[in-house]
Structure formats: structure tokens, C-alpha cells
Amino acid sequence: MAKPAPPCTLVIFGATGDLTRRLLMPAFYNLSRWSLLPEGFAIIGVGRSEITPDAMRADLTEAMRGFVADKGGELAEKGLDTEAWDRVVVRLDYVRGDVADVETYAEIGRRVAANGAGGGSALFYLAVAASLFGPIVKLIGEAGLAREEDGAFRRVIIEKPFGHDLDSARALNRDVLGVLSEKQVFRIDHFLGKETVQNIMAFRFGNGFFEPMWHRDRIDHVQITVAEAVGVEGRGVFYDATGAMRDMVPNHLFQLFTLIAMDPPISFAADAVRDKKEEVLASVRPLDEKAAVRDAVRAQYTAGSVGGKTVRDYRAEANVDPRSTTETYVALKLVIDNWRWAGVPFYLRTGKSMTRRDTEIAIQFKQAPLALFRETGMDEQVPNWLVLQIQPDEGISLQFGAKIPGPKVALDQVTMGFKYRDYFKVDPSTGYETLIYDAMVGDATLYQRADNIEGGWQVVQPVLDAWAALAAPMARYPAGSAGPKEADELLARDGRSWRPL
Ligand code: BG6
């Protein structure tokens, strides 16, 4: 059983924003239900809105009631556990202030000191626009709020996107590490908060059977898919300036990629795990200009329908440039130049407005060395897949060939499957619970280190450069499809095909 986190004050910049309402407050609620919040815990919301602390509490309580009542939602429950929620809400206060104003930080300092039971420890959560990460950290430093004294900790959680490209990520790391030491910085990637993502390590390193086959001798290739049914969902301003590559690939997809490709760490300590992830990124063969065009596909969705709902052309979405050249889909082939993976391609794809939501990692094993059954030619062999289904319907399955009953010897593909829900009762959660708890206890295993962030950008930067130079065409796919035909061609060139969604 996990113990309650140590006492501290949590300071949320961007307290009246969507992230706080939708994810952070529900996460505190769950931590409270699971008895993981310490006595001496306080939350200080910081924002520019003219609201009273009481109005803020009432507003967030209303929102929480809505989340638990939402039948299809991630937090659907019979009703709000008011006792658990009250424990959060009574500890919640609000500081109205501009994040560019030094006085705001002086006030925060006074509030942290006033929470005597918090022991002077503070965790700052930057739930604000990315352009404010650097400036806020700087002012935290100047106000003396980053100083760790008398055993108290001072830590900062930084949301994504961490940088817009390699140069800006490096600059942000430089700014942040000019104020804080690496162990005070917690760069979030919410994919690491997902149980099924964490389970990749448990599956690989907690079991003895697959690891001996986890390399180039036995694995043919790997496919990583993060297909989303949702479109830009009112985030046109952010999305059109960002695109699928920056939004998803160097962060979320690379979490899956590195967890699958990394070598066993010497322990599960934060740096041991992050060292191994870093090695993977550093061994990805750099894409030269030609490869950046050849091995990456970008595409935009056109009008179509997803789950019976009509979807407009991406360029007709609100706050999207009618001549936008922002991609809503990316497919990428990566090659890792190390002993484990030489010659094993990793194909990654992600897109908005696709057929359905489907996040999976599929590993295809090499075929049997010869076809024993005369009627079955080598090309008719059934591929052997290990599939880690991340969401929805979390589970792990093995797909292999079995004999079709009857006098003729012929094989068909069958599936052996494990579903989480058949074994574990999972409390409804946002995925932020573990991450916030870990930051409070100072465990950075599920957070990104500076070099992990830069390593991710380093891999995709040549593609971003090629696209910015308009050197690669923009493919199209109808909303509700599995992606553009150009992505199929990327695999067809290697004699392979994507798994159907
Ligand atoms: C976010 C992206 O980081 O991750 C979104 O900005 C994306 O565009 C989301 O939809 C996907 O996360 P999840 O948890 O819904 O799979």
C-alpha cells in the first residue's frame, strides 16, 4: 500500500483553466479518496480571473459533480464522495495575480509560509500556455521560491508542449536549469500516467518469457499506432500552429517507442530508466534530407464521417487557416542502429479524425523458417503478433496460426487474449493521480529528463525541417478512414502493411 505523500503546498499556475478543472482537481479528489494526500496539504490556485476563493470552490465542486455524473466519462461513478472532495476543497485557496508580476510571487511565498503544516515544501504546477513556462520559472527563482531549505523541497511540474522544436526545447531546458536543478524539474507526459503504458515495463521486465525473443533475431518489425477519432475539438488556434508531429510524436509516441525498444534498466530508479530511454533515442538513425521526405508521411483530413457524425474538412474547422499546411496525421519509419534492433523497422502513425480511437503497439515476430504443411506456402503463413492494446479496451493479445479443423491442413489466425478489466477492478481515474503523487514524493521515473526531451526533438527535427521547406507533399485522407494511401505505400515498399484499425 502506498503511503500518503509528504506535506506540501501545491501551487497551480493557470488555476481557472481547463486542465485544472478537467484533470488536476479530479486527480486530487482521487488521491484524497485513496488516502494519499498528506495532512498539511494545501492547494493555492493562481490566475488572473476576478473570482473569490469561495466562488472558485463552488465552481470546481459543480464541475466535479458533472464529471462523476457523466456516464460515458472517465470518472463516471455512482455519486460524488463528498467527504473525499471536501478534504480537497477546504484546502483550496486562490491568489489573483498576473504571472508576470513579482508581487504575485511574493504573495505565493507568504501563502506557502502560512501553511505551517506544509513544512515549507512546495510543488509548482505550470498549467499555463507554453510561452509562459520559462518566464514563470525565472520569476519563481528570482522570488527565492526555488530554494530548498531545512529539508523542504521545491519542485516544478511543467506541462507539454516542452518546446516547439529542438532549438526551443534546448533553450527552455537552459532557462529552467538555470534556476532549478534537474531533480527539481518534472516534465510531464501524460501518457506515462496511463496504467497500460506503465505496464509495458512490467510486462517486459517482470516476466521471463518474451525478453529472450525481444530483438532482431526474432522480431520482424514493430507498429505503433495512436489513432484518434476526435478532430481538433475547438483547439484550432493551438492545433493549427502545432500539428500532429509536434503534438504527439516526440512526446507520447516516443514514450511507447522507447519503452518497447529500451534495454533492461539496472533498476527502476528514475535515472536508470531514463538512461535506457535516452540510449534508444540516441541510437535512432538520423534522418538525412532524403530520408526525412521518404520515410515520413504527413497528411490532412478532408470531410468525411466518424462514428456516424459528419466531420468538416480540416481547413474548414474554426480557427484553422483555410490554406493551412498543418498535418493532422503522421506516419514515420524509424530505424535503430544498435545491436538489439539493427534491421528491425519501427513504424509509427498517429492522426486525428480517424476511423476509431485505437492506441496499440504491435510486434510482429519472424515467420517459421520453413513451411511444414505442404498446402501452406511460406507466403500463406499466418503472421505471429504480440499486441499491447493501450486504449481503449486495455489488454495484451497473441495472434498466431492454428489448424482449421478438417482433413485438409490449413492454418487460420487465432487470438489468445488478456483484458485488464477481466482481472483488475480499476478505479476511475485521470492518469494524473500517479504523476502528481510521484512528484510529491520526488520520484521522477515517469517524468521526462532534459535529455529525453531533446532526444525526441532531435529525431523529428529533420522531418520538421523538410516539411517547413515544403519539400514533402501533403497527403489527404477522408475523416473516418484509416489514414492516407501514402502511409500504406510507406510500408508496402518494405513488403509490409499496417494492421487494420
Ligand atoms: C494531448 C494532445 O497531449 O494528447 C491531444 O495535445 C491528444 O491532441 C491527447 O488528443 C491524446 O491523449 P489521450 O490521453 O486522450 O490519448
pLDDT, tens digit, 9 for 90 and up, residues 362-410: 999 998 887 666 565 555 678 899 999 999 989 999 999 998 898 887 7
Within this chain, do residues 105 and 247 fall inside the same structural domain, yes or no? no
- Residue minimizing CA distance to atom 9 of ligand 1: 248
Number of Cβ within 10 Å of residue 374's Cβ equals 7
Alpha-carbon span 205 to 154, nearest angstrom: 33
Q: Is 247 in the pocket of ligand 1 (CB under 6 A)?
A: yes
Ligand 1 centroid distance, CA of 397 (Å): 24
The pLDDT value recorded for residue 410 is: 79
Work out the mean pLDDT of the chain and round it to a whole number.
94
Within this chain, do residues 123 and 248 fall inside the same structural domain, yes or no? no
Which run of H or of E encompasses 457? Answer: helix 450-468
The pLDDT value recorded for residue 225 is: 98
- Residue 339 resides in a domain: yes
Residue 425 has pLDDT above 90, yes or no: no
Determine the atom of ligand 1 nearest the C-alpha atom of 235.
8
User: How wide is the angle at C-alpha 226 spanned by C-alphas 225 and 232, nearest 5°?
Assistant: 145
Ligand 1 centroid distance, CA of 189 (Å): 10
Residue 13 has pLDDT above 90, yes or no: yes
- Residue minimizing CA distance to atom 8 of ligand 1: 247
Within this chain, do residues 239 and 377 fall inside the same structural domain, yes or no? yes
Which run of H or of E encompasses 138? Answer: helix 133-142
- Residue 385 resides in a domain: yes
53, 55, 66, 88, 98 from 49: Cα distances, Å: 11, 11, 22, 21, 10
Q: Give catalytic residue positions.
A: 252
Give the global pTM.
0.95
- Residue minimizing CA distance to atom 6 of ligand 1: 247
Q: What is the mean pLDDT of residues 210-215?
A: 96
Q: What is the mean pLDDT of residues 410-421?
A: 92
2, 162, 163, 244, 314 from 232: Cα distances, Å: 38, 20, 20, 10, 8
Domain boundary among 138, 159, 180: 159
Residue 112 has pLDDT above 90, yes or no: yes
Within this chain, do residues 153 and 247 fall inside the same structural domain, yes or no? no
Q: Is 189 in the pocket of ligand 1 (CB under 6 A)?
A: no
Ligand 1 centroid distance, CA of 423 (Å): 27
- Residue 179 resides in a domain: no
- Residue 4 resides in a domain: no
Could you tell which of 189, 194, 248 is best to mutate to test the pocket of ligand 1, judged by most ligand atoms within 8 Å of the CB? Answer: 248
Within this chain, do residues 147 and 259 fall inside the same structural domain, yes or no? no
Within this chain, do residues 324 and 416 fall inside the same structural domain, yes or no? yes
The pLDDT value recorded for residue 376 is: 56
Within this chain, do residues 145 and 212 fall inside the same structural domain, yes or no? no
The domain that holds 22 is classified in CATH as 3.40.50.720
CB-based contact 383:500 (threshold 8 Å)? no
Q: What's the sign of the alpha-carbon dihedral 115, 118, 122, 123?
A: negative
Write out pLDDT tens, residues 56-96: 999 999 999 998 888 777 777 778 899 999 999 999 999 99
251, 258, 262, 309, 388 from 201: Cα distances, Å: 17, 10, 10, 37, 12
Within this chain, do residues 146 and 237 fall inside the same structural domain, yes or no? no
Determine the atom of ligand 1 nearest the C-alpha atom of 242.
6
Within this chain, do residues 107 and 199 fall inside the same structural domain, yes or no? no
Question: How many structural domains are present in the chain?
Answer: 2
Output the nine-digit C-alpha cell for 146. Answer: 526555488
- Residue 181 resides in a domain: no
Could you tell which of 74, 190, 235 is best to mutate to test the pocket of ligand 1, judged by most ligand atoms within 8 Å of the CB? Answer: 190
Ligand 1 centroid distance, CA of 161 (Å): 11
- Residue 182 resides in a domain: no
The pLDDT value recorded for residue 374 is: 58
Residue 4 has pLDDT above 80, yes or no: yes
The domain that holds 227 is classified in CATH as 3.30.360.10
CB-based contact 249:350 (threshold 8 Å)? yes
Within this chain, do residues 485 and 412 fall inside the same structural domain, yes or no? yes
The pLDDT value recorded for residue 394 is: 92
Q: Is 358 in the pocket of ligand 1 (CB under 6 A)?
A: no
Q: What is the mean pLDDT of residues 13-34?
A: 94
Ligand 1 centroid distance, CA of 225 (Å): 13
Domain boundary among 144, 159, 174: 159
Residue 342 has pLDDT above 90, yes or no: yes
Ligand 1 centroid distance, CA of 410 (Å): 43
- Residue minimizing CA distance to atom 2 of ligand 1: 247
123, 146, 416, 501 from 143: Cα distances, Å: 15, 8, 58, 51
Assign 453 to helix, strand or coil.
Answer: helix
Which DSSP symbol is given to 79?
A: S
Ligand 1 centroid distance, CA of 494 (Å): 30
Could you tell which of 247, 255, 320, 352 is best to mutate to test the pocket of ligand 1, judged by most ligand atoms within 8 Å of the CB? Answer: 247
Domain boundary among 111, 134, 159: 159
Q: Cell numbers 500556455 correspond to what residue? A: 129
- Residue 324 resides in a domain: yes
Q: Is 228 in the pocket of ligand 1 (CB under 6 A)?
A: yes
Within this chain, do residues 273 and 127 fall inside the same structural domain, yes or no? no
* Domain limits for position 91: 9-159
Alpha-carbon span 498 to 77, nearest angstrom: 37
Could you tell which of 191, 228, 235, 448 is best to mutate to test the pocket of ligand 1, judged by most ligand atoms within 8 Å of the CB? Answer: 228
- Residue 479 resides in a domain: yes
- Residue minimizing CA distance to atom 12 of ligand 1: 191
Which run of H or of E encompasses 294? Answer: helix 289-294
Within this chain, do residues 201 and 154 fall inside the same structural domain, yes or no? no
